[in-house]
Structure 1
Amino acid sequence: MNKMNDTVLGKNELLKLLEEWHIPFLCEEHDAVLNMSESSMLTLSLSGARCKNLLLQDKNDHYFLVVTTATKSLDLAELAAALGSRRLSFASADKLFELLGIRTGSLSPLALVNDEAGRVRLVIDADLSDEESFLFHPLENNASVWLSRASLETFLRTIEHPADWLHACARQVA
């Protein structure tokens, strides 16, 4: 069961679902942030890996939510090869809203609760595999949710949206 009904969920509905599904989490409100640079300036009481979340697409309309470390610039050509794709590009804000019902700056694996059609493949960078907890936006960029690794895995299992853990190469700086 992904959602309560066929409507797109927002932050409050997501948090309610986490409670109903008995998935342990903590939530902290903060100023809205649009990118990792703004996020790094936030002082939060919650601690966990702050992750960069990117919605990528290929020419065949395959979509990938890629979660990586906060500071990594991905080598999209290498990542495309690892995903069995030819060329990756960033999906538009309109596509982000169409697929996941969220606005720019709010992307995280929690948005997959709105992907009942299963059109978005979740790829988590293996560089995050040793992290015990994560901070993700709960469908809005004015709050962060703390999830343990076990809580994240339970959430993904509950919405039937498994993650592929792959090594995502960093772009080489010349």
Structure 2
Amino acid sequence: MHAVGGRRTGRMSEAQPKTAEDLFRFLDELGIEHQTKRHQPVFTVAESVALRDEIPGGHTKNLFLKDKKDNYFLLTVEEHATVDLKTIHQTIGAASKVSFGKPEKLMEYLGVIPGAVTAFGAINDTSGRVKFILDEGLMEFDTINCHPLSNDQTTSIAAKDMLRFMEATGHEPLVLKVTA
């Protein structure tokens, strides 16, 4: 809903997900340096490998997971890392073994579609439904590269600034060793 002159308009009952431009404005407000490169939409790590020479730093793979109690997690790891989905629940504090979250919940909580999943989705998780976990190995890179809420761009920021961004969205990201 939008407030107009003290009253609400009935445009939509849910807030619209933030866009890449909203994200860039937020990063600017925080004083976080960022660079973005436009490219063809990519949906998988394999498709995005061609961009590696043009964009230095750690490139990400994101796993949107849920446990049986409907607790949601976003694991952000280096693109070639392996995550053992049979045992990861013990590391991340899930109530049970995990499975992949449904695309509807991905859009509802993070404001993105499959193929555009990103740690930057924290900007859309205003109700704090998702626990964000950044892999230790990824955080060793000086620069981290993520989609800025759409898969036709890649945004680069410093690893330490990713933590600042998360905290500014009201999330306390966990930096854990979640990869094999």
TM-score (norm 1): 0.89
- 1:28 aligned residue: 37
- 2:67 aligned residue: 58
Q: Distance in 2 between matches of 1:129 and 1:146?
A: 13
Of 141-150 and 14-23, the range deviating more from structure 2: 14-23
**Closer, same or farther: CA 18–60 of 1 in aligned 2, 3 Å:** same
Is 1:73–2:82 an aligned residue pair?
A: yes
Which deviations, in whole Å up to 9, do the C-alpha atoms of 1:13-47 show, x marking residues without a partner? 11122122221101110010001111112255331
Q: Distance in 1 between matches of 2:132 and 2:175?
A: 9
Of 62-71 and 158-167, the range deviating more from structure 2: 158-167
* Identical amino acids, percent of aligned pairs: 28
Taking the TM superposition and a 5 Å limit, the aligned residue runs for 1:58-137 are 58-85=67-94, 86-137=96-147
Is 1:38–2:47 an aligned residue pair?
A: yes
Task: Give, as a single letter, the amino acid of the residue that structure 1 aligns with 2:37.
Answer: E
Task: Give, as a single letter, the amino acid of the residue that structure 1 aligns with 2:65.
Answer: L
Q: Distance in 2 between matches of 1:169 and 1:29?
A: 29
- 1:145 aligned residue: 155
Structure 2 alignment gaps of length 5 or more: 1-14
**Closer, same or farther: CA 39–82 of 1 in aligned 2, 3 Å:** same
Q: Distance in 2 between matches of 1:73 and 1:7?
A: 33
Larger RCO of the pair (alpha carbons < 8 Å, separation 6+): 1
Taking only aligned residues, the RMSD between alpha carbons, in angstroms, comes to 1.4
Structure 1 alignment gaps of length 5 or more: 1-5
- 1:3 aligned residue: none
Report the number of matched residues. Answer: 165
Q: Is the 8 A contact 1:132 1:149 kept in 2?
A: yes
Q: Is the 8 A contact 2:138 2:144 kept in 1?
A: no
Q: Distance in 1 between matches of 2:159 and 2:171?
A: 15
Task: Give, as a single letter, the amino acid of the residue that structure 1 aligns with 2:26.
Answer: L
Q: Distance in 2 between matches of 1:152 and 1:169?
A: 19
Moved runs in structure 1, 4+ residues, more than 2 A? 41-46
Q: Secondary structure at the match of 1:107?
A: coil
Q: Distance in 2 between matches of 1:97 and 1:146?
A: 23
Task: Give, as a single letter, the amino acid of the residue that structure 2 aligns with 1:168.
Answer: V
Q: Distance in 2 between matches of 1:130 and 1:11?
A: 25
Which deviations, in whole Å up to 9, do the C-alpha atoms of 1:117-153 show, x marking residues without a partner? 0000001112223211100000000000000012212
- 1:165 aligned residue: 175
TM-score (norm 2): 0.86
Larger Rg: 2
